[in-house]
């Protein structure tokens, strides 16, 4: 099954929106700690409502732990620092799409170790899409390609 991984997310509301997206698309969600906020189900309940119950969520305490658990999965980095458009990339069923922090992306050492990178083509006069929007755009293409929906 496809997974979305968030590298040390900064903004709780974005994570909540991504929980909802992953629940709707039936995509796994993996969060690489530390987060820029305290992940508390009770506190965030009103943001993600009952979607958390329908989201397969897993936490990793570090990037190293994440990588060690991904030996049989291809990691694809969503980044603005590549020319490979997401619609030009061929996705597979056990891929993990990694998204960086809202404030800083992923560190250079992480960026440099990931061979597969994709981007969402956009207006060159703006920085980027909101991370939740990016997750929705890319997940819809992944699902279209591998026919996970009915």
| Residue 82 lies in domain | 3-146
Backbone angles phi, psi at 96, to 5 degrees: -120, 125
Q: Which domain CATH number covers 34?
A: 3.40.1280.10
User: pTM of the prediction?
Assistant: 0.91
Crossing angle of helices 12-25 and 41-48, rounded to 10°: 60
Residues 6+ away with beta carbon under 8 Å from 46: none
Question: How many structural domains compose the chain?
Answer: 1
How confident is the prediction along the chain (150 residues), in pLDDT tens digits per residue?
899 999 999 998 899 899 999 999 999 999 999 988 776 666 555 566 677 778 889 999 999 999 999 998 999 999 999 999 999 999 999 999 999 999 999 999 999 999 999 999 999 999 889 999 999 999 999 999 987 544
């Amino acid at each position: 099954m496809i997974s979305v991984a968030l590298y040390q997310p900064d903004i709780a509301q974005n994570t909540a929106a991504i929980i909802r997206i992953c629940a709707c698309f039936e995509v796994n969600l993996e969060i690489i700690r530390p987060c820029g906020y305290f992940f508390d189900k009770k506190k965030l309940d009103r943001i993600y409502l009952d979607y958390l119950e329908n989201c397969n969520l897993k936490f990793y305490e570090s990037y190293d732990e994440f990588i060690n658990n991904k030996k049989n999965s291809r990691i694809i980095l969503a980044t603005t620092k590549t020319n490979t458009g997401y619609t030009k990339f061929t996705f597979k069923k056990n891929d993990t799409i990694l998204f960086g922090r809202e404030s800083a992306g992923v560190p250079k050492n992480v960026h440099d170790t990931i061979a597969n990178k994709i981007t969402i083509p956009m207006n060159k006069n703006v920085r980027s899409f909101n991370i939740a929007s990016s997750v929705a755009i890319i997940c819809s293409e992944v699902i279209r390609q591998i026919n996970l929906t009915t």
